[in-house]
């Protein structure tokens, strides 16, 4: 039985896009791999129409390339993509932490402290997957503390791509421990309401992550 609702191709196409995007970004489909509509339809148990719609959207996102008379191929990320992604994140995180310090209430600060306490716990357990999840929660707590629904919406898609690539940084030797130190420095600056120091510490954290992610993708070539 088809688990997807084929009565609404628009919605199904969007959901299929998310499924395929996850598979590309999590490297289930590798760079240079051909994505065949018929094969994907069998794999995902759906008709070819939503597959075709999803592939068009993936091409607009720059994740696949359609070559006439040959087919659709996975592009993935190159070093320029990664650098662009992190430069955008640097600019936005600097603004986020400034707004968060200005607008954060006690409950929001308490949430951030609780997330950091869990990060300490799972760093000791050397739990990479849980730390990746907590890292996302930590930064999302800062975005939420801006109390700007427009800002949170803006960060949603950007943070998705950044989170997928950043996953590779925490697998590097000793990165869990150094990242914990960096998050503690950011939290301390927030608690002191020191915007300049908080921005400096978050820039250092993101730049270090950028270097590790860049090295990961360079090694794969």
Residue 23 sits in a domain of what CATH number?
1.10.10.10
Considering the domain boundaries, does residue 107 fall inside one? yes
Give the residue from 193, 167, 190, 197 showing the smallest Cα distance to 179: 167
| Domain that includes residue 109, residue range | 79-220
Instruction: Identify the sign of the CA torsion 58, 60, 63, 65.
Output: positive
> Which tens digit of pLDDT belongs to each residue from 16-63?
999 999 898 888 898 899 999 999 999 999 999 999 999 999 999 889
Look up tokens 């598979």; give the residue.
23
- Mean pLDDT of all residues in 65-77: 90
Considering the domain boundaries, does residue 49 fall inside one? yes
Verify that 125 and 34 share a domain, yes or no.
no
Verify that 43 and 147 share a domain, yes or no.
no
Verify that 196 and 129 share a domain, yes or no.
yes
- Mean pLDDT of all residues in 184-211: 96
Verify that 184 and 133 share a domain, yes or no.
yes
Determine whether 194 is exposed, middle or buried from the number of CB atoms within 10 Å of its CB (0-12, 13-18, 19+): middle
Give the residue from 206, 188, 207, 209 showing the smallest Cα distance to 197: 188
**Whether the Cβ atoms of residue 164 and residue 25 lie closer than 8 Å to each other:** yes
Verify that 97 and 23 share a domain, yes or no.
no
* The predicted structure's pLDDT at residue 111: 97
Q: Among residues 39, 54, 74, which one ends one of the domains?
A: 74
Q: For the chain, how many structural domains are there in total?
A: 2
Verify that 125 and 139 share a domain, yes or no.
yes
Q: Among residues 49, 74, 99, which one ends one of the domains?
A: 74
Verify that 98 and 21 share a domain, yes or no.
no
**Whether the Cβ atoms of residue 9 and residue 48 lie closer than 8 Å to each other:** no
The pTM of this model reads 0.79
Verify that 27 and 111 share a domain, yes or no.
no
| Three-state SS annotation for 58-90 | HHHCCCEEEECCCEEEECCCCHHHHHHHHHHHH
Check pLDDT > 90 for residue 173.
no
Verify that 114 and 16 share a domain, yes or no.
no
Verify that 133 and 192 share a domain, yes or no.
yes
- Mean pLDDT of all residues in 94-105: 95
Confidence of residue 8 (pLDDT cuts 50, 70, 90): very low
| φ and ψ at residue 31, rounded to 5 degrees | -55, 130
Least confident of 38-42, 87-91, 109-113: 87-91
Considering the domain boundaries, does residue 4 fall inside one? no
Considering the domain boundaries, does residue 20 fall inside one? yes
Considering the domain boundaries, does residue 141 fall inside one? yes
**Whether the Cβ atoms of residue 50 and residue 138 lie closer than 8 Å to each other:** no
Verify that 101 and 127 share a domain, yes or no.
yes
Q: Among residues 22, 47, 74, which one ends one of the domains?
A: 74
How many angstroms separate the CA atoms of 165 and 155, rounded? Answer: 15
Verify that 125 and 174 share a domain, yes or no.
yes
CATH code of 186's domain: 1.20.120.530
> Which tens digit of pLDDT belongs to each residue from 125-166?
999 999 999 999 999 999 999 999 888 888 877 777 778 878
Confidence of residue 221 (pLDDT cuts 50, 70, 90): low
Considering the domain boundaries, does residue 1 fall inside one? no
Check pLDDT > 50 for residue 181.
yes
Cβ neighbour number for residue 67 with a 10 Å cutoff = 9
């Amino acid at each position: 039985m088809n688990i997807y609702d084929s009565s609404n191709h628009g919605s199904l196409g969007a959901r299929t896009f998310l499924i395929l995007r996850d598979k590309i970004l999590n490297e289930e489909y590798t760079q240079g791999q051909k994505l065949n509509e018929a094969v994907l339809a069998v794999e995902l148990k759906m008709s070819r129409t939503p597959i075709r719609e999803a592939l068009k959207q993936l091409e607009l996102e720059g994740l696949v390339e359609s070559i006439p008379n040959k087919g659709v191929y996975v592009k993935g990320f190159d070093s320029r993509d990664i650098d662009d992604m992190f430069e955008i994140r640097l600019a936005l995180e600097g603004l986020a932490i400034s707004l968060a310090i200005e607008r954060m209430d006690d409950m929001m600060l308490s949430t951030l402290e609780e997330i950091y306490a869990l990060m300490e716990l799972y760093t000791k357990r050397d739990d990479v997957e849980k730390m990746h999840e907590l890292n996302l929660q930590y930064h999302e707590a800062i975005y939420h503390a801006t109390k700007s629904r427009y800002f949170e919406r803006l960060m949603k898609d950007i943070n998705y791509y950044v989170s997928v690539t950043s996953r590779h940084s925490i697998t590097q030797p000793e990165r869990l421990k150094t990242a914990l130190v960096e998050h503690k420095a950011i939290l301390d600056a927030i608690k002191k309401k020191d915007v300049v120091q908080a921005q400096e510490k978050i820039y250092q954290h993101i730049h270090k992550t950028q270097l590790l992610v860049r090295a990961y993708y360079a090694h794969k070539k």
